[in-house]
Structure 1
Amino acid sequence: MSGIRIQRRADALVKEEYGCAFRRILPWESSGPSDTGMGVCTVAPGTATTPHSHEDHEHFYVVRGSGHAEVDGERTRIAAGDALVVGAHQRHHFENASDTEELEMVSVWSLGPFGAAPAAGQPHGEDR
């Protein structure tokens, strides 16, 4: 492969998934479920996503907006710059606290856990 692969926001297919507008970014040119991937979830002002769970692990990074995340009944406030992890089979949803601004999050998922701290004695960071 040569050159830079890029998906422009204007060219991305947006689908309604779990009560949010979802742009699937990776895998490339895919519009359906995948074992690993990345997407952008946009929750409209004053709305919430549909509570759900799935077999994959999911990491979220809040790009803009604010609201609440609820995971397995535990609720917390989230805002731009926050990151959280939802484990496999954990029931979760997001609520947009604003009446005017969208809540936008990047979602990265995988069937196996990733991003966990290494076990004691295992290399990490620059030690690899």
Structure 2
Amino acid sequence: MHVPLTPRDAPSTVRPAGRASLYPSGAESRIEAVERICAEDIRRAARRAVEAGADPAGRAAALEQLLGTLGRLERYLAGEEYPVAGRLTAADIELWAALVQLAPCTAVVSTPRPYDVSPATRCSGVTSGG
């Protein structure tokens, strides 16, 4: 059984001196929104798209949701280095992890910013085991 490890799994008090928090004050709701997008719109849609026995209409709907989400993220991140607070936060890590799980079905994950994924990317290779 795969148990995802996220920044929330680590105590917030554990960080080297002088290091910024992954959960900056005031950014909590935006970070949670990215976490929801990753869990519900990316991971769940990818899983639904490849489930054994999924009907063609269900697969098409799941792929449409997944590709639509990736397209919205791409437009939102255009010109932005980070999705939340203008710096590295837990949202970056969560988004990166969700997109890495799609790596078997993408051709452009090896870009300098891991969330630069074209909405035209196809996800026929995602497995439901992750």
Task: Report the TM-score, using the length of structure 2 for normalisation.
Answer: 0.29
Superposition TM-score, scaled by structure 1 size: 0.29
Higher RCO (C-alpha under 8 Å, 6+ residues apart): 2
- Greater fraction of residues in helix: 2
Query: Which structure has more strand as a fraction of its residues?
Result: 1
